[in-house]
Amino acid sequence: MATKRSLVPVTDTFQEVEKFIQSISNGFLEAYNLDYDEVKSAAYLGFMQAYKSYVHKKGEFTTWVGHKVKRRLLDLLNKHIKDGKRPLAQIDLRLYPEKDPPDFDVNDWLDGLSKDARIVAKLVLKVPIDIRVLMTQLGEDSPGNWRQAIREFLDERGWAKKRVTRTLIEIKEAL
């Protein structure tokens, strides 16, 4: 890839980041139940804004694309909310029982876990700055990225991979 983005044709540049843009767009589609064509258009607009405004000296192109695409998608979401379309109101009430679910006592739940599982659960309940930094670097706030950030955090503290895996499985089964 050339050092200056303007030397690379827009179609080549788009192909390099197309899956990344789709990943961001899919996250918005799943989370907010927005119109597919509107999300796609907003994401592509964000890409074009990134392409036209990218300054090589200031960082990676993909980081800039991610920022611009997310910004356009957030603008779309805010427009829907402002217009009263309320994309978050798409709730299937059949998923919820008529009676209130029993109270969940976090402390009782934690008491039923092993020492390692309690440590990891507390990392999620009160996220240390190291994990927040890792999540920022990973980008999307997804379960996979949370697992990866927690794994890296524990690996840096000397936990073996089997220990981390066993602990995450225990937590998953307890939930």
Q: Mean pLDDT of all residues in the chain? A: 80
Percent of the chain with pLDDT over 90: 19
Which among 38, 61, 88 is the end of a domain?
A: 88
The answer to the question of residue 99 being in a domain is no
pLDDT over threshold 80, residue 26? yes
60: containing domain: 7-88
Residues 16-31 have a mean pLDDT of: 86
Distance CA 115, CA 157 (A): 16
Report CA-CA distances (Å) from 75 to 31, 36, 39, 49. Answer: 15, 15, 10, 14
Domain identity same for 84 and 110? no
User: How many domains in the chain?
Assistant: 2
Question: Average pLDDT of 60-64?
Answer: 88
For residues 27 and 74, membership in a common domain is answered with yes
Note the pLDDT tens digit of each residue in 108-119: 888 889 999 999
Average of per-residue pLDDT across 126-134: 80
Q: And the tokens for 36?
A: 């597919």
The verdict on 82 and 43 lying in the same domain is yes
Residue 98 belongs to some domain of the structure: no
Residue 45: pLDDT band (50, 70, 90) is: very high
* Residues 27-42, mean pLDDT to the nearest whole number: 84
DSSP single-letter state for residue 148? H
Please count the CA atoms within 13 angstroms of the CA of 108 that sit on its side-chain side.
3
Q: Nearest-5° angle of CA 152, CA 158, CA 159? A: 70
Average pLDDT over residues 54-67: 85
Name the residue among 73, 66, 75, 51 with its Cα closest to residue 138: 66
Q: Are 144 and 150 in contact (CB under 8 A)?
A: no
